[in-house]
Structure 1
């Protein structure tokens, strides 16, 4: 055991000191009951356990098989692909991808019916009570009365559902893309109080994940939770708040500086895409919107302003809309005499046609799915897919087609390949991806609880509760001592690194997470039983787990140390516990390695 502790500590130190390309910034992860690679003994031993049951509601057709004579993807690249396009490989999914090919898998995922999150109660905004938690008398049970704020106002119930979907949802690609979109188009529980509103916003992102960027901009801009979060709602024509107008341009569409199609600064320096006058012009153009009908306030309505209500889309109030001629981003003009809807469409159309939007949004999606430092050529190819609406035969041919953009990102030569040895390639697994991947790798049965208030806070990423509209971390966070960026490293520190180890330890050695007190709680329990038959041979056990979890394999010295630590548990003829300890050790140390912490 001392050997294992020493090795784990060495890996932790290596992880903390490593840069994005050569190692990660995290610590340990969990053990897997999911099974080993797609071949060998682990495949047959773990295949059944690895087949995580799909969450009800998500329906994905079986992908078409490889064409006759078409080569199957390599095992390493299939693992890399599933790491990018899902919340982590499983034996079953690996076999499906290798039997269908990357493109066919994407097409099937894009045809998925998709997941529908629970329709959380709107009672917080429809009872007419000043203090809902104190006065609302129709709670379904005593639990909900005592935990009113958590269950009706916070993102905690939605976080539970998010992790269940990430763990067992069949629509993995949609879930992964929606997470990325939610970190670009941020709405946060830090300002928006209403579980149903946060749910409806995330559901909108899920529904728009394979749509069109223009439609996405419209859905985001008319969403009442976003309008509340960034002060678009109830803006009077005489004195509009500029917050949404500014962030719509800075964060949601074109960014601060003029860009070339490949994402580089036009002219080699920052030339502003807009000035404060344009912010004012857009703010005036977006006046005259209030909440949808349905909300009730203890103080009644305030003239034209509806009470807070997050279900549906914003309601236009023409009398409160500024109708003057206004300048648009990119140099166009909005003629006078327009309606609120006409003005919003004009603003969004101008942003959608702006040359910056393709590289600005495309590069961030690459960073969330594939690598933190994509080459300009990679960004340029994704921008071309944005403009043409098609990539690799996927897409409608319409500008801004999300299917084409995603295909361009995931099928690009810079994303695919057996080996990625460049030191600037890869991305640190952000906490939400790390947690979900850990659960999938361990074949965990989970109710999704515990990853918001406790573990989410420990990791620095309580999902749906970003600290600001700038997300949990910025896309340009610099890696000290390098010219690289490592976005997720912004929330990685010794404490959050140790949290990765602690969660792994909890799942492997302390029976997971206990069930909480909410109705239907089951906790989170890992199942590593399918790996036990492989424990006789320490080297083979490590190899099978390594194939599934570490694309490109472990360095020889780290792998040798892990094999030695696994073999340190002696074979016993009187007890079977040595098998369990070998599997635990193998998973704990492999998932602790920088090669796992950094997605490559």
Structure 2
């Protein structure tokens, strides 16, 4: 089937979904409430896990299900599986910079050209390109880790944190090695304490450059970082109840969390920090640049005169992390990134309570998010649109693959979500984005990326990956790492494609979507697959390719 006919098949599939109103929750195979004795958390955790349930859970807790992760989850159960992932040490991002920024090389990072010049010509060129001059380096490293590393849950949380505590190559181009160090820090701290994480973020030389905290001086305090620390990294612009809903004043309007005068005092409290070695070490206090006067913080707290830069930063971070709006604000966003775009207030309240009672222990917060009844037994219309990054990794991990990560970097860029390259500190989309024309005002942040260009790019990449033998590597990637990207079709899938088209679609529905396709969509796909006749190996793989292409193009797959 040529690309034009595949396009027509997708359009007919969309019509099938819309005309039969089958785009809600899709199929019901393996739903938790059908398999457990009750809907309580104890019942959900005690019930055996079906393959479909395992697949759906792994779309929330990893970068896509694999044969091995499905088996492991079903063997351990939800709680033990999550605990195993939480106990796993942080992996290290694949280093396409060939170790150029390893700790032993700290002194050699600058000047960059002199350092790269010590290598043979081919390696020197790759060093200069991947370590310094391209935004593809950190993104490619990320995809390689997301596809293959074992600390999947940690990496998913780190990816979520990178979209809350944003630094971006879009405004810091040609500094790939600094971005890699920042994202590795988020990965290392993903299950730590939130205040400790904010301290590492605040002292990061990359963040210092991105939001102008580096060299902010008492004579002219820069307010950029202070404002985003308050608005985006902690309390939020408006006060929230413990369940994440906005507090309203007597006039019915939202209550502001801080004033412009307080922003100025926060910026004064954070003066006096400078990066002594570009990107590599945390910023340190310098000279007498810190404003040591008294400052007013939130909720009546203050910093007395004479406080040092280090003491002032600690007091600032304690003030914002203990503020009652921070727990629901951060908890709600983490739920949105992992489980559902539109969590119920009760769900947010349960997770927020864990955040508050543990002082921001992200390990326990993550556990609370994933082992909640709304994660294990979600109500209708409680999913989210799969973001481009997860779409890319999930496809490869679900099927089987060889990849060096570069093709995914290019695809994500075309779809509007290249990792670590958000257009601004406000990320790729707002957590408050709502579905247009929705009378229920459903939050759906990932839909902000959905447009003609991103949808077209997704379809083109899907077509290229599924119907090409391989997508080549970048010409400057070190040859030992340059595998390109291709799918590895399982033999059992090919056997089904040759003998049982309906059985093939049913198996793929379970394996790829977790049983979310409705009966008529499965029938439609099976009918299209059967239009490819013959029993040769090439015809088997064509049938399999078409089935996978249509499933990954289905709204019932994309909205989970």
Structure 2 partner of 1:470: 426
Structure 1 partner of 2:291: 322
Partners in 2 of 1:479 and 1:127 — Cα distance?
Answer: 46
Structure 1 partner of 2:534: 571
The equivalences for 1:138-177 within 5 A come to 138-142=118-122, 144-145=124-125, 148-177=128-157
The structure-2 alpha-carbon separation of the partners of 1:582 and 1:387, relative to structure 1 and needing over 3 Å to count, comes to same
Corresponding residue to 2:383 among 426, 429, 435: 426
Tell me which moved more, 4-13 or 563-572.
4-13
Q: Which one has more relative contact order, counting CA pairs under 8 Å at least 6 apart?
A: 1
Residues 214-245 of structure 1: CA distance to partner in whole angstroms, max 9, x if unpaired? 11111111111111100001011111110000
The alpha-carbon deviation at position 76 of structure 1 amounts to 2.8
The equivalences for 1:252-263 within 5 A come to 252-263=233-244
The structure-2 alpha-carbon separation of the partners of 1:447 and 1:273, relative to structure 1 and needing over 3 Å to count, comes to same
Of Structure 1 and Structure 2, the greater helix share is in 2
The alpha-carbon deviation at position 169 of structure 1 amounts to 0.9
SS of aligned partner of 1:445: strand
Tell me which moved more, 157-166 or 169-178.
157-166
The alpha-carbon deviation at position 133 of structure 1 amounts to 5.5
The equivalences for 1:10-29 within 5 A come to 10-11=12-13, 22=24
The structure-2 alpha-carbon separation of the partners of 1:280 and 1:385, relative to structure 1 and needing over 3 Å to count, comes to same
Partners in 2 of 1:16 and 1:141 — Cα distance?
Answer: 57
Corresponding residue to 1:590 among 542, 546, 551: 551
Task: Identify unmatched segments of 5+ residues in structure 1.
Answer: 25-36, 39-65, 296-308, 390-398
The alpha-carbon deviation at position 177 of structure 1 amounts to 0.6
Structure 2 partner of 1:243: 224
Corresponding residue to 1:481 among 414, 429, 437: 437
Structure 2 partner of 1:55: none
The equivalences for 1:120-269 within 5 A come to 121=100, 137-142=117-122, 144-145=124-125, 148-192=128-172, 193-267=174-248, 269=253
SS of aligned partner of 1:428: coil
User: Does the aligned pair in 2 maintain the 1:127–1:136 contact within 8 Å?
Assistant: no
Question: Is 1:447 matched with 2:427?
Answer: no
Structure 1 partner of 2:258: 274
User: Does the aligned pair in 1 maintain the 2:262–2:298 contact within 8 Å?
Assistant: yes
The equivalences for 1:391-406 within 5 A come to 399-406=359-366
SS of aligned partner of 1:548: helix
Corresponding residue to 1:357 among 295, 312, 326: 326
Corresponding residue to 1:495 among 428, 433, 453: 453
The alpha-carbon deviation at position 381 of structure 1 amounts to 0.4
The alpha-carbon deviation at position 18 of structure 1 amounts to 13
Partners in 2 of 1:125 and 1:240 — Cα distance?
Answer: 31
Question: Is 1:410 matched with 2:373?
Answer: no
Task: Identify unmatched segments of 5+ residues in structure 2.
Answer: 31-41
Structure 2 partner of 1:304: none
Residues 272-299 of structure 1: CA distance to partner in whole angstroms, max 9, x if unpaired? 100110110000011111113xx4xxxx
The structure-2 alpha-carbon separation of the partners of 1:276 and 1:324, relative to structure 1 and needing over 3 Å to count, comes to same
Partners in 2 of 1:263 and 1:211 — Cα distance?
Answer: 22
Partners in 2 of 1:477 and 1:464 — Cα distance?
Answer: 20
The structure-2 alpha-carbon separation of the partners of 1:329 and 1:461, relative to structure 1 and needing over 3 Å to count, comes to same
User: Does the aligned pair in 1 maintain the 2:100–2:131 contact within 8 Å?
Assistant: no
Partners in 1 of 2:233 and 2:200 — Cα distance?
Answer: 12
User: Does the aligned pair in 1 maintain the 2:17–2:521 contact within 8 Å?
Assistant: no
The structure-2 alpha-carbon separation of the partners of 1:576 and 1:149, relative to structure 1 and needing over 3 Å to count, comes to closer
Partners in 2 of 1:125 and 1:256 — Cα distance?
Answer: 41
User: Does the aligned pair in 1 maintain the 2:106–2:280 contact within 8 Å?
Assistant: no
Query: Size of the alignment, in residue pairs?
Result: 527
SS of aligned partner of 2:293: coil
User: Does the aligned pair in 2 maintain the 1:133–1:149 contact within 8 Å?
Assistant: no
Partners in 2 of 1:127 and 1:88 — Cα distance?
Answer: 36
The structure-2 alpha-carbon separation of the partners of 1:541 and 1:21, relative to structure 1 and needing over 3 Å to count, comes to closer
The structure-2 alpha-carbon separation of the partners of 1:21 and 1:247, relative to structure 1 and needing over 3 Å to count, comes to farther
User: Does the aligned pair in 1 maintain the 2:108–2:115 contact within 8 Å?
Assistant: no
Corresponding residue to 1:75 among 40, 44, 51: 51
User: Does the aligned pair in 2 maintain the 1:3–1:565 contact within 8 Å?
Assistant: no
The structure-2 alpha-carbon separation of the partners of 1:3 and 1:539, relative to structure 1 and needing over 3 Å to count, comes to farther
RMSD (Å) for aligned C-alpha atoms: 2.8
Question: Is 1:284 matched with 2:284?
Answer: no
The alpha-carbon deviation at position 213 of structure 1 amounts to 0.8
The alpha-carbon deviation at position 477 of structure 1 amounts to 1.4
SS of aligned partner of 1:244: helix
User: Does the aligned pair in 2 maintain the 1:159–1:464 contact within 8 Å?
Assistant: yes
User: Does the aligned pair in 1 maintain the 2:399–2:490 contact within 8 Å?
Assistant: no
Structure 2 partner of 1:348: 317
The alpha-carbon deviation at position 456 of structure 1 amounts to 2.3
The structure-2 alpha-carbon separation of the partners of 1:584 and 1:142, relative to structure 1 and needing over 3 Å to count, comes to same
Q: Using structure 1 for the length normalisation, give the TM-score.
A: 0.83
Partners in 1 of 2:371 and 2:307 — Cα distance?
Answer: 43
Corresponding residue to 1:107 among 76, 79, 83: 83
